[in-house]
């Protein structure tokens, strides 16, 4: 399973999303779009959004910290 999360250091929902994944033992790769312009462009291309967090779970893009969609994409019942 590939989980990628686009974040910024000051985003509280990014922190909540990362904590949520960690609590469930889900490994993820984080890209800080405030420091990585190419990651920011990639995030906008994938999501059409400039806001964070944006999660890419096995190619399914989730905008914001949406537990129901995250669980569905990870196959976690709720």
Instruction: Compute how many other C-beta atoms are within 10 angstroms of the C-beta atom of residue 61.
Output: 17
CA-based nearest residue to 5, from 41, 52, 44: 52
Classify each residue of 27-44 as buried b or exposed e, where b means 16 or more C-beta atoms within 10 Å of its C-beta.
ebeebbbeeeeebbebbe
pLDDT band at 6 (very low <50, low <70, confident <90, very high): very high
Tokens 């469930």 locate to 24
Query: Where are the chain's structural domains?
Result: 3-74
Mind listing the pLDDT tens digit for each residue in 52-66?
Answer: 999 999 999 999 999
Q: What is the mean pLDDT of the chain?
A: 96
Question: Coil, strand or helix: which one is 53?
Answer: coil
pTM: predicted TM-score of the whole model, two decimal places: 0.94
Q: Which fold has domain 3-74?
A: Glutaredoxin (3.40.30)
pLDDT at 15 over 90: yes
Query: Quick one: pLDDT at residue 11?
Result: 97
């Amino acid at each position: 399973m590939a989980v990628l999360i686009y974040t910024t250091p000051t985003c509280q929902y990014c922190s909540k999303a990362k904590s949520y994944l960690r609590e469930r033992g889900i490994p993820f790769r984080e890209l800080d779009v405030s420091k990585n312009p190419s990651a920011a462009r990639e995030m906008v291309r994938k999501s059409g959004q400039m806001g964070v967090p944006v999660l890419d779970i096995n190619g399914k893009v989730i905008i914001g910290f949406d537990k129901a969609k995250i669980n569905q994409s990870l196959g976690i019942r709720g």
